[in-house]
Structure 1
């Protein structure tokens, strides 16, 4: 009975992960009351995919990267500093609405989403690189995002650094602790045997997050469809541009292999706009929030659309 109710559906979602991500992200727009209902669970929906990904991580690969800490200095500088500077320079002459421009630059300044680890696992890329870069970037972003926001956009981010760092440390620490407990308590081979089940659970959490962040966006779409369409198109262009830049930097500057270079592209393009919303507090006008919400569309749709491309490029000779 339990297997039929929980295991079978999650296993099915794991086997069709990219399709669920592609279609599920639209549910929040189509069913606004559901988005409002799920919004209080945003933190949980962010944390669950990270925990599940850490449980499945190849720790030997993680340790190999951890022994080369200097490798991550250029990666973190690229993700947290170079990406927003490049985006600001590219957007400056375009004349976009000010809230939209601010939101795009802040997106580029944010750390990678926790879901990049799950995406890397689903696509067969470098999950160890993804999780280390995501964790380090998330820990450092309170030191980089506020001064960048003030310098580039004249926005003073209203947040307590100690409180924000404490929240991040609690979230990431909980995920690591839960993954460690799982490794020590689950029967040998359980994780491998239930790979698709865990994929499905990650996909479910990612979709629930995407639904929750759409709260209020449907009403905006009905009132100002032109702005929402512009924000959506900008989100796709920004995501793809950052992915292309990340892959190029990884492949030709840092000399990564194909899988690692693609992973850096995914890290650069898929940014944790939820953390930006928290850090901005009441300074984020709703037009900015709309972009953060519509920015979920490329993050959840592109892995499915581009999966054949990712795998073909990853298979190329390094």
Structure 2
């Protein structure tokens, strides 16, 4: 990728990712056609994200795993419990929005967290270490939460575990081969190019994630827009809360906790619930999936401002 084009992509990375999601809605045929390639694209996104993480950064997280463990406990147990307690006091017990909010907050962190971390200035190594066990717990944790909320979520634990193993194993193995072939010094020099490709790949991954969303939006536009507002508001509030809870941590760690508090693996939940248009619950989760790709563009100024403020102290 040429320097000029790569620089343009990096400077406009977050709007491009949002545009990819909107394109998936506007072009439902393209979104559906790319759906079979979602796992492959996700693996490559993870691989490129890993190429930008120094081995020393992983070592530092693993030698002092306290923050990673706290964030894992927070996103797995703390956030869904808090959402259930707060929204349960506001919304009626049988509310679809309540069930959706609790399920979404119990869904594991996105596996491509490193890519978003690199774009927003969070700790990519920390979020990768959190994402793996978070997703590994999902085959047992998601059905339990769904049952408590009275929601039928069809999760095949073995299939989910195999998919996770393939994604993690392939991305780490692929990254190791690239590092061995090119060497870490050359990869450091190629960092701007890798970042540009990360933007392109995350943008492409947004297309299949929107499969079925365009049709649902056409069928119930006003209702879907309201669901987008609900999902986006929940995401942003949880990010703000995550930052406040982990504010004593280093700034990259606090921003990482914020990012992962609101940004979850909605593809996993949609796979368990069925097509977006099949139920109001599925439609809310689809709206949340859309906000995942729009949200980085909205929060980036706040993340940068917080990082600058903490650096000046």
TM-score by length of 2: 0.89
Counterpart CA distance in 1 for 2:11 and 2:188 is 14
In the alignment, does 2:269 pair up with 1:273? no
Please say if residues 80 and 141 of structure 1, whose CA atoms lie closer than 8 Å, have aligned partners that are also in contact.
Answer: no
For the residue of structure 1 that corresponds to 2:246, the secondary structure is helix
Contact 1:15 1:196 in 2 (8 A): no
Which residue, out of 57, 66, 71, partners 2:62? Answer: 66
- In the TM superposition, residue 60 of structure 1 has moved relative to its aligned partner by 0.7
Go from structure 1 to structure 2 and tell me whether the alpha carbon gap of 1:288 and 1:190 turns closer, same or farther (over 3 Å shift). farther
Q: Measured at CA, do residues 97 and 227 of structure 1 come closer, stay the same or move farther in structure 2, by a change above 3 Å?
A: farther
In structure 2, the CA distance between the partners of 1:97 and 1:8, relative to structure 1 (3 Å rule), is: farther
State the partner residue of 1:158: 154
Single out whichever of 51-60 and 194-203 deviates more from structure 2.
194-203
The whole-number CA distance in structure 1 between the counterparts of 2:13 and 2:276 is 35
- Counterpart of 2:232 in structure 1 is 236
CA deviations 1:82-104 (Å, max 9, x no partner) are 11122222333325984443332
Identify the residue that residue 125 of structure 1 maps to in structure 2. Answer: 122
Secondary structure of 1:28's match?
helix
Q: Which residue of 2 aligns with 1:179?
A: 175
Q: What is the TM-score with the length of structure 1 in the denominator?
A: 0.88
Q: Which residue of 2 aligns with 1:301?
A: 294
Q: Which residue number in structure 1 is paired with residue 23 of structure 2?
A: 27
Match of 1:102 among 99, 123, 136: 99
- Name 2:306's counterpart in structure 1: 313
Q: Is the Cα contact below 8 Å between 1:17 and 1:203 reproduced in 2?
A: yes
**Which of 231, 238, 248 pairs up with 2:244?**
248
Between stretches 131-140 and 197-206, larger displacement belongs to 197-206
Tell me which moved more, 242-251 or 63-72: 63-72
**CA displacement at 1:156 relative to structure 2:** 4.6
Map 1:30-109 onto structure 2 (within 5 A): 30-92=26-88, 93-95=90-92, 98-109=95-106
SS in 2 for 1:112: coil
Provide, for residues 273-296 of structure 1, a one-character-per-residue CA deviation record: whole Å limited to 9, x for no partner: 111223445899443333233223
How far apart, CA to CA, are the structure 2 residues paired with 1:97 and 1:150? 13
2:255 to 251, 258, 262: 262
| Cα distance between partner residues in 2 of 1:225 and 1:169 | 38
Pair 1:115-2:112 in alignment: yes
Cα distance in 1 for residues equivalent to 2:276 and 2:143: 12
Rate the CA distance shift 1:288–1:202 in 2: closer, same or farther, 3 A. farther
How far has the Cα of 1:245 moved from its partner?
1.4
| Cα pair 1:52 1:179 within 8 Å, conserved | yes
Cα deviation, residue 168, structure 1: 0.9
Provide closer, same or farther for how the CA distance between residues 178 and 227 of structure 1 changes in structure 2, counting only shifts above 3 A: same
Q: Does the aligned pair in 1 maintain the 2:24–2:208 contact within 8 Å?
A: yes
SS in 1 for 2:309: coil
Moved more, 34-43 or 287-296: 287-296
- 3-state SS in 2 of match to 1:159: coil
Gapped regions of structure 2 (runs ≥ 5): none
State the alpha-carbon separation in 2 of the partners of residues 140 and 61 from structure 1: 24
Q: After superposition, what is the alpha-carbon deviation per residue over 1:218-261, rounded to whole angstroms, capped at 9, x for unaligned?
A: 2222221222011100111111011011111111xxx3022211
Deviation at 1:10, TM superposition (A): 5.2
